[in-house]
Amino acid sequence: MFVGSEERTIEEVCYEKEHIEKVLKVIKENFDKYFTKFIETENGIVMSKEEIDEIANDIGIRVLKTNENSPSEKYRKIMIEAIQEFEKDREKYLKIMNKEYLDEYEEEVAFFKNKVLKNECPIIHSTLQNITAKALDKYRMDFNLADPAILHKVVTNLNNFSIEYENKYDTYKDKTISSYEELELELLDTDDYTAYGVIGGGIKSHLLYKRRPQMFANRSRDAIWALWFLTEKIIIDTKMDSEFIMIDTKKTTTQQNYFYPYCLFSFYAINIYYLLKEKANELEVEFPDDYKYVIVDAFLSFVAERHRLEIDLFTSNIKEGDRYYGA
Amino acid sequence: MELNIQNEFEKIFPRLKEYELTDLQVKSVKSIVEKGKNTLSIIQTGGGKSLIYWLSGKLLGGITIVISPLIALMEEQAEKLEENNCSTLMLHGQADKNEQYEKLIEIANGKFKPDFIFVSPERMATDGFFEYCVKRINKQVKLIVVDEVHCVSQWGENFRPFYRRIKDFIDNIYENDYSKAKVLALTATINPKEIKDICEEFQITTEGIVKSDMLMRNEIALKVIEEVIEDDKEEHLWNIIKLHKGEKTLVYVYRKYNKRGVEQLAQIANERGYRAIYFHGDMTANERKNIISKYKNNEYDIVFATNAFGMGIDIEDIRVVVHFSIPESIEQYYQEVGRAARDAKKGGTAVAYLLYSDKNILVKRKHFINNSYPSLDMLKNAYKKISNKVGLNLLYCFDDEEINTCLPYFVNSGLIEIVCKGFSTFENMEIQDEYLKNALSKTIRPITTIVFKKNPEINPKEIINKTYEDIISGKIKLNKLLDKVLIIDVKEEKLSDEKINEILKSIEDKKEYRNELFNYFVYILKKKLDSNFLHQEIANYLGVDRYKLGRVYSTSKGDRVRSKSEVIIANLLYEHNINYKYEEKLICGDKEIYPDFTIYLDNGEKVFWEHLGWIGIENYDKRWIEKLELYEKYYNVIPEKTYETASISDAATKKIEEIQKRNAN
């Protein structure tokens, strides 16, 4: 999509069933090659065989024969480590996404903003602290100017949404979802669940994901980039480049589309979960459904990491004052 | 003339005559002394590097300069040399400065001729007076030894900027005639690019590289433990420590402070009833020396150390090494593991544990390796500090880490030229020379004023050298010791984009290389090999001949053989004073075979002995038949044979008795 001054949407065609099926088809076609590397490199920890051969050649040694861990063992290990990493700071999010505490904070919204969100919410705290990234200066400014009452309201709405969603979850958790509407997440893309400039698509999804990783996918920057690469960067039906990226022709910048609707993203995320689960079944590895989007997140981060140089090249043009995160 | 190196050693060092030099030590000495080559000796930890330069220096006669990174190491070597009737001088920041000056003047005047001068790289790189004195008597300087030479190379993780100036020092004292210099470079661990870099730096040819092909330290059992959950790693550490309670243990942790740093872990160990201490680079030399001494004397059982606990520390009986942090390369890993069981020749063994998680791997890659090079901001800052103006400048750099780190990059890229080492002021000198007196009557401010401003046609090096000469001859009396500066020629006022890109590219290349080495190390670890196979994998990486990789078992004679049965045979031969060689090449026409044992009888006869451990396996049988045919065709013999049975000892003993009978006849 190309960006004008305040466009916050994608083309209508992106919501159409035929279009979604086409996108899904390309993702499925490319899934295997990334998954193979995902396992072979143990989620990017180890070099692939080709890379090792290249290194050995460069150093001037001959590689001895090897014994390898089985793919099943590797997949199991990746999942354990991803969950372990996920759980590290989860407690902090659960303290924020907590109805009782949020009710108390209603009387002290300034405290909620300046202490709880600013200092105790890891993703917001680290974004604010990242002084080397000039592009985040705008975020810092927006945060400082944001109305504390609105921030509190949005977080409360997100939490309530999550609670209500839990009540419905059992009815469809074992169903195979075939359309984004079935996920019933469109509301999350509306104003009641957004504090523009501060709690946008990325941060809101992260709060939900940390609360319930079996229900809500993490719509991170890397996840959107990953979808672009999984779709081979091709344009499918849209008039203005891929729906997963945002090109600002005036500023000549390219970023992941941080306006990408959560409901659509979630549909692609659940389909990636199906693919990952299928692989788990093939490899006879138990898939942790209660952490399904943790594994999805690990996989999408891996895909993005494989293209890190390219992503860095795109984002290196983003300057101070440009919107970069949390729109 | 070919020397009998062992004999010469015993003559020169009679107190050490019981010590038998290793092949590697002999080869290294021959390379320097007989062949006259600049030499790079790569010897595993505990392999006796010092004796190489002791003997080489004495055989060459004259003065040997030893550039050594550690004061403790210098002092230890100097003490041992003095005990062996060699004279020494130590030059480093903690020795008495006045005394050092007096000795240097005596050396320059030919009144004192020490066998060995030990100098720190910092001193060598910054002290113009020392350099001048050495240059004055350069004909007497027969050998320059660079200990821990891997510190020279920016391709490695132990690069030290001052080491990079060794070549300039050598060039200066020999006035760029490198053929006069003999350089002996010593190290235990070094990667291929470092080797290339060092050989180029010190003009060492391939023939001058002496490397052990017995790098494997199989007396150390290697255990690699991958933890999926990071917290389990610490628990495992305490279990290991408990398991080895009372044994001298070294735990490598590459973090000094805060959680899971050496200080905290030592504290916890003490709370748990162990006798533990920590060791890191921020401690003073005396503190470190004290700890090493107490550890050696068993006042501490456990040392939690960063990799500052390394070079030159020689403690025989470390039984356990634990890597709580993942090393950066196979070289570093094996070097640090190699601190254990230095008493291997006396039968000492050890266990080495490496505990790691995938998180450690990510952190190492992203932070430790990539952040160990100067950033763009640091380069810009450092250049601003250095470049007052284009042209000649004084540089007081020695305490400024930023400048020290960045200067080699500026020099490499031609932005800065180091004109000479010198001093900054003529204050505190009683000068008799009229010219200088006249010049100084206008100012006593720094040499910049005298030379750069008032006499720009004078080469600063000339006036500095003249001053040094006058100090040596007594024409100038010093009321206070000279300070140390570098006189540099700044070529560009600002760091241009072009130069920045050039420097950053060179840094990126080095980062990439170090990442390659680290990634290969991770690849090896992930193979989950047992100890012997891991040693072989490491030996393969370090360049040991593939054919020799299987030689993992040590014998009484000091050989390494391929199986425990061969150990039995070799030890029995040794016990019975039967002269033998293991796998000595035997030419059979255009082929070569390697008998397991070639026995030399007193009458000159040779007996070949083959231990057929795998007889009955098709490929093995085929190869054995081919070998047998060659024996018969070219030597008309059938070798002695033993087989893999439970009574190999008896069988071998019987065979030896038969051989002894032949020997007696």
**CB within 8 Å: B520 and A60:** no
**CB within 8 Å: B228 and A45:** no
Q: Which chain A residues have a beta carbon less than 8 Å from that of B527? A: 66-68
Count of helix runs (H) and strand runs (E) in chain B: 24, 26
Q: Which of residues A131 and B176 earns the better pLDDT score?
A: B176
How many other CB atoms are found less than 10 A from the CB of residue B293? Answer: 11
Query: Which residues pair with residue B40 across a beta bridge?
Result: B185, B209
Confidence of residue A136 (pLDDT cuts 50, 70, 90): confident
Which chain A residue is nearest to residue B515, measuring alpha carbons? A55
Confidence (pLDDT) at A327:
34
Report the amino acid identity of residue A295.
Answer: I
Q: Which of residues A199 and A174 earns the better pLDDT score?
A: A199
- For B591, the token pair is 């082929």
The Cα–Cα gap between B420 and B271 comes to 54
Q: Give the 3-state secondary structure of residue B157.
A: coil
Q: Give the 3-state secondary structure of residue B581.
A: strand
| Per-residue H/E/C for B352-396 | EEEEECHHHHHHHHHHHHHHHCCCHHHHHHHHHHHCCCCEEEEEC
Candidate from B192, B520, B527 with C-beta closest to A67 = B527
Residue found under tokens 């396992």: A39
| Per-residue H/E/C for chain A | CECCCCCCCCCHHHHCHHHHHHHHHHHHHHHHHHHHHHHHCCCCCCCCHHHHHHHHHHHCCCCCCCCCCCHHHHHHHHHHHHHHHHHCCHHHHHHHCCHHHHHHHCCCHHHHHHHHHHHHCHHHHHHHHCCCCHHHHHHHHHHHHCCHHHHHHHHHHHHHHHHHHHHHHHHHCCCCCCCHHHHCCHHHHCHHHCECCCECHHHHHHHHHHHCCCCCCCCCHHHHHHHHHHCCCCCCCCCCCCCCEEEECCCCEEEECCCCCHHHHHHHHHHHHHHHHHHHHHCCCCCCHHHHHHHHHHHHHHHHHHCHHHHHHHHCCCCCCCCCCCC
CA distances from B271 to A316, B60, B274, B364 (A): 50, 55, 7, 30
Candidate from A58, A62, A66 with C-beta closest to B527 = A66
The Cα–Cα gap between B400 and B385 comes to 10
A84 CA: distance to closest CA in chain B (Å): 7
> Taking chain B (665 residues) in consecutive chunks of 10 residues, what is each chunk's mean pLDDT?
86 89 92 95 82 95 91 84 94 81 93 94 90 94 92 75 87 83 88 86 93 80 89 92 95 90 95 95 82 92 89 84 93 89 85 94 86 88 87 81 89 91 82 70 60 69 88 86 87 91 90 90 90 89 79 85 93 93 93 94 92 90 94 94 92 92 80
Q: What is the distance between the terminal CA atoms of chain B, rounded to a whole angstrom?
A: 38
Q: Which residues contact B458 (CB under 8 A, 6 or more apart)?
A: B451
Q: Give the 3-state secondary structure of residue B495.
A: coil
**CB within 8 Å: B522 and A46:** yes
Return the CATH fold of B5-211: Rossmann fold (3.40.50)
- Helix spans in B558-665 (H): 564-575, 618-635, 648-664
Confidence (pLDDT) at A66:
63
Q: Which chain A residues have a beta carbon less than 8 Å from that of B528? A: 67, 69
Instruction: Give mean pLDDT, residues A261-278.
Output: 96
Confidence (pLDDT) at B205:
94
Counted residue by residue, chain B has a size of 665
In the sheet that holds B416-422, the strands lie side by side as B391-395, B485-490, B416-422
Confidence (pLDDT) at B342:
86
- For A258, the token pair is 């941080």
DSSP B21: P
DSSP B69: S
- For B124, the token pair is 């060598």
**Position A325 pLDDT exceeds 50:** no
The Cα–Cα gap between B337 and A90 comes to 38
Domain spans of chain B, in order of start:
5-211, 220-369+519-546, 388-493, 553-664
Chain B contacts in chain A segment 218-247 (CB below 8 A)? none
CATH class of B553-664: alpha beta
The Cα–Cα gap between B55 and B78 comes to 14
- For A10, the token pair is 């994608």
Confidence (pLDDT) at B1:
61
Q: Which residues contact A37 (CB under 8 A, 6 or more apart)?
A: A48, A302, A306
Confidence of residue A323 (pLDDT cuts 50, 70, 90): very low
Chain A contacts in chain B segment 153-192 (CB below 8 A)? 191-192
CATH class of B220-369+519-546: alpha beta
Helix (H) or strand (E) holding B485: strand B485-490
Report the amino acid identity of residue B260.
Answer: R
Return the half-sphere exposure (C-beta side, CA atoms, 13 A cut-off) of residue B24.
22
Report the amino acid identity of residue B593.
Answer: I
Check: CB of residue B35 under 8 Å from CB of residue B29: no
B528 touches chain A (CB under 8 A): yes
Q: Which residues contact A28 (CB under 8 A, 6 or more apart)?
A: A271, A275
Q: Rounded to 5 degrees, what angle do the CA atoms B554, B559, B564 make?
A: 40
Candidate from A146-150, A257-261, A302-306 with smallest mean pLDDT: A257-261
**Long-range contacts of range B636-640, CB-CB < 8 Å, 24 or more positions apart?**
B637/B608, B639/B595, B639/B607, B639/B608, B639/B609, B639/B610, B640/B607, B640/B608, B640/B609, B640/B610
Rg (CA), chain B: 29
Burial class (CB in 10 A: 0-12, 13-18, 19+), B626: exposed
Confidence (pLDDT) at A322:
47
A195 CA: distance to closest CA in chain B (Å): 33
Cα-Cα-Cα-Cα torsion B57, B61, B67, B70, nearest 10 degrees, comes to 60
Q: CA A321 from chain center: how many Å?
A: 23
A55 touches chain B (CB under 8 A): yes
Which chain A residue is nearest to residue B541, measuring alpha carbons? A61
Confidence (pLDDT) at A65:
67
Check: CB of residue A106 under 8 Å from CB of residue A99: no
Which phi and psi (to 5°) does residue A292 adopt? -60, -40
Candidate from A47, A84, A85 with C-beta closest to B519 = A47
Which chain A residue is nearest to residue B523, measuring alpha carbons? A46
Mutate to test the interface with B, among A49, A55, A87 (most CBs of B within 10 A): A55
- Listed residue (B110, B105, B130) closest to B120, CA to CA: B130
Are domains B5-211 and B220-369+519-546 of this chain identical in fold? yes
The Cα–Cα gap between B390 and B490 comes to 5
**Position A6 pLDDT exceeds 50:** no
Q: Which chain B residues have a beta carbon less than 8 Å from that of A43? A: 358
Check: CB of residue B654 under 8 Å from CB of residue B643: no
Which phi and psi (to 5°) does residue B276 adopt? -125, 155
